Amino acid sequence: MTVVISLGVDPKIPRIALTDAEFDMHLSRQANDRAKASEMEHAIRSHIRKHLDEDPVLFRKLGERLNEILKTLADQWDDLIDALQKIISDMRAGASSDDAGLPDMPEHCVPFLRMLLEAVVGTERPSDEQLLKIRDLTVELVDMITGELTDTFWEPYKRPAQDALGARIFRALRTSRLVAPGDVSALKDRLLELARANHERLTRA
């Protein structure tokens, strides 16, 4: 049984997405704080599922934060609603509290930066030198990817071009010496998946 069901939300009932213009008005019409919190939780989980592939590090952390809030603030409806509203605000901004200290970068680069940071330092705080190197590697990789993308790049018949891009990403990761050699191949695959999920954003950059 999920936390969604435990709060009284039936996942089969369609609900308004938190990005919809009517969402805040919809919340204000809820009968009580429990119902309001349930609607907020459902909208957050739905948003995470929809956008997870576009920024897996960000949305996984937001999901973990949601679960912790639901665990620690159970039945404390005012505090729970305030905490859920902060998550919704972060989602609408495409950010999180963990982003403090990240270098200023174009929006389309940030999911790649987060993925590289996690691969290099995990949950530790990067040193200034590490952060600079990871930022530079992010820019190099995103430029490399955007330089190859076309409208049909991810079509099956373009597999040779996809493999060639993957090989270039692999070499750049190895050359950087930031990632453990045994982790390079898996990280290359995740970066390609991230590029595919963000295709439209990258081609507009």
pLDDT of residue 100: 67
Mean pLDDT of 19-43: 86
Retrieve residue 25's tokens. Answer: 């008005």
pLDDT at res. 10: 46
| Distance of alpha carbon 57 from the chain centroid | 5
Predicted pLDDT of residue 199: 98
**Does position 68 have pLDDT exceeding 90, yes or no?**
yes
**pTM across the whole model:** 0.86
Distance CA 103, CA 99 (A): 9
C-alpha pair distances (Å), 148 with each of 71, 108, 114, 154, 155: 45, 15, 22, 11, 13
User: Is pLDDT above 80 for 2?
Assistant: no
Average pLDDT, the chain: 89
SS3 58: helix
pLDDT score, position 30:
86
Average confidence (pLDDT) over 48-75: 94
HSE-CB for 16 with a 13 A CA cutoff: 16
pLDDT (0 to 100) of residue 18: 79
Torsion of CA 102, 126, 189, 159, to 10 degrees: 50
Q: Given this model, what pLDDT does residue 6 score?
A: 42
DSSP string, 12-25: TS----TTSTTHHH
* pLDDT 10s digits, 155-171: 999 999 999 999 999 99
pLDDT reading at 5 higher than 60: no
